[in-house]
Amino acid sequence: MKLSESSFRTQVVFVATGVFIGLLISTQVRSSVPSGSYPSDELAIQKDLIKSFLDDQSLLKSKIVALRDEISKTQDSSKNLGDEKLIESLNDLKKDVGLETAKGDGVEVSLNDGVLVKRDEADTIDQSLIHAADLRDLVNVLRSARAEAIAINDQRILSTTSITSVGNTILVNNFHLLPPFNVVAIGDPELISQRLTDPTALPDLLKRFKSNSIQFSFSVKNNLVAPIYNGDFSVKYIKATNSPA
Amino acid sequence: MKIKEMKIKEREVSLLITSVVVGLLIAVQSRAFTDVSTVFGRDTRADAFRELQILKKSNEKLEDEISDLQSQLSKANDQEQSLKGIRDEIQKYQILTGRTDVSGPGLRVTLNGNVQDIWLTDMTNELLSAGAEAISINNIRLIDVTNGFDTIPNGEIVLNGSILKAPYVFEAIGDKTTLKAAIEQPQGILQRMSQNLTGVDVKVEEKDLVSMEKVL
């Protein structure tokens, strides 16, 4: 009797130790190289640098918009050369490439972080934050619903737009965007609304919305505006292989 | 007595092994729970240094665009050159909007296996972020009107009305070295995919010539 009691105790100890070792092994396997921490003054310098880059960026972008406008006006005023048709097709192309303000009916989507979360202090994987991947998924759904023009916080989304993040900062067209995210989609309101309410279209976003982690809403609106694209077009490597018709 | 002792030892050893396995299983399981929401594994956890790099580079590109536009403006003001300026601009936009066949150096990435649409979205995004000037998937060039992946109830991915089947072949025109480095970097798209997907074969090839047919 005494022997079996002690062997039972040994067994319990063994099981506990075994489970503990198992957990330890897995933690060990999972742990990666610790990331370095910056001294706070270095962080301050970095923040200042980022701010100055962003100020430059705003200035450069407004210069680009002004220059494009000036070029258009100059071209329009020199129409008398018999190149009216050429100007016309140029203007049509500009519309398609995002160099004209898009106006029309559609859907306005609002996305925001959870009410209580602080983006500056939150962990990058916080469920209550809107992530770059959420915006990518949303844009993908809007595109598949045939939206004709899309803008997020006034940044026009083109087929070459990247939506990425660096830590908790979201970059759209390499431009810093902060929540709340106001997404304008010009197109068939019914089709777009249908896709947005489809539970399979944005599963991750809807799950977090239902658990009150994030804020998400949309409404059909008339006369929406998607501003003109104010970034660069890169055509350094791409070439036309046949002469255009 | 000796036999009994040996039996106890045997039992204890097997108990220990089982328990270690149980411990490992618990850990794997709890990890699986945290991975349910894939959205959190899809973005890099980069630092301020990378942010500065991106901003510096994007400002340089904006400055280049400004000097291009300035030369365009001077052409527009010059009677002799204005027509050529307009033609050049038309050609540039035709290239960008998929109205003409295009080619250039670039990268081909082949993903073979069961891949969800979010990873196609993310791969496209990663290539664009690394400076891809045009992208096609299984020979469909992505422009505004062809873009947007849709998953139909049987799990198949639809793009521009066509069902995409594995292997998913991405072709991107741009600086092939930069594109390759971007997707293969630590914590980059390929590493994140391998952490979240199993059984997907990946092939990355640098190409001197990638061609895409016009869309419109």
Answer yes or no: do B152 and B198 share one domain.
yes
Instruction: Tell me: do B132 and B112 sit in the same domain.
Output: yes
Based on the fold, state whether residues B64 and B144 are members of the same structural domain: no
pLDDT attached to residue A135: 97
Q: Position of tokens 């500065």?
A: B52
B19-74 pLDDT, tens digit each: 878 777 877 665 554 444 566 677 766 567 778 888 898 999 999 999 999 999 99
Calpha distance A115→A100 (Å, rounded)? 36
Mean pLDDT, range A59-68, rounded to an integer: 95
Residue B55, both tokens: 């901003």
Q: Are A106 and A190 in contact (CB under 8 A)?
A: no
| Angstrom distances, CA of residue A104 to CA of A111, A113, A149, B106, B136 | 21, 28, 9, 37, 29
CATH number of A101-226: 3.30.70.1880
When pLDDT is averaged across residues B149-165 and rounded to a whole number, the result is: 92
pTM of this prediction? 0.80
Helices (H), chain A: 2-30, 40-77, 84-97, 132-144, 189-197, 203-210
Q: What share of chain B is helix, strand, coil (3-state, %, to 5)?
A: 55, 20, 25
Confidence label for A82 from pLDDT (cuts 50, 70 and 90): low
d(CA A202, CA A179): 19
From B54, B192, B50, select the one nearest A35 (Cα to Cα). B50
Residues B214 and B115 in one domain: yes
> Are β-strands A181-186 and A215-226 bridged in parallel, bridged antiparallel, or unpaired?
unpaired
B62-98: pLDDT as tens digits: 999 999 999 999 988 888 888 888 999 999 999 999 9
Going by the DSSP 8-state scheme, the letter that residue A81 receives in this structure is G
Instruction: Give chain B's domain count.
Output: 3
- One domain for residues B157 and B176: yes
ipTM surpasses cut 0.90: no
Q: Please state, rounded to an integer, the average pLDDT across all residues of chain A.
A: 87
Task: Tell me A228's DSSP state.
Answer: P
Question: B190: domain range?
Answer: 102-216
Q: Which positions in chain A touch B103 (Cβ < 8 Å)?
A: 238-239, 241
By the 8 A CB rule, do A138 and A192 touch?
no
Map out the domains of chain A as residue ranges: 44-95, 101-226
Residues B116 and B195 in one domain: yes
Note the pLDDT tens digit of each residue in A109-127. 999 999 988 887 777 778 8
**Separation of alpha carbons A172 and A227, rounded Å:** 14
What tokens appear for B214 in the block? 């016009």
Which residue type, as a one-letter code, is found at position B121? T
Same domain, B9 and B88: no
Q: How far apart are CA B179 and CA A121, in angstroms?
A: 32
| CATH code where residue B196 lies | 3.30.70.1880
Most B-contacting residue of A90, A143, A152 (CB-CB within 10 A), to test interface = A143
User: Is pLDDT above 60 for A11?
Assistant: yes
B150 shares its domain with B67? no
Which position has the higher pLDDT, A2 or B156?
Answer: B156
Query: How close A83 gets to chain B, by Cα (Å)?
Result: 8
pLDDT greater than 80 at residue A58: yes
The residue from B62, B81, B96 where one domain ends is B96
| Nearest by Cα to B145 from B56, B63, B214, B42 | B214
Are B49 and B114 part of one and the same domain?
no
Closest residue of chain A to B82, computed from CA coordinates:
A75
The Cα–Cα gap between A158 and A92 comes to 16
What count of CB pairs under 8 Å joins A to B?
285
* Pair B59, B27 in one domain: no
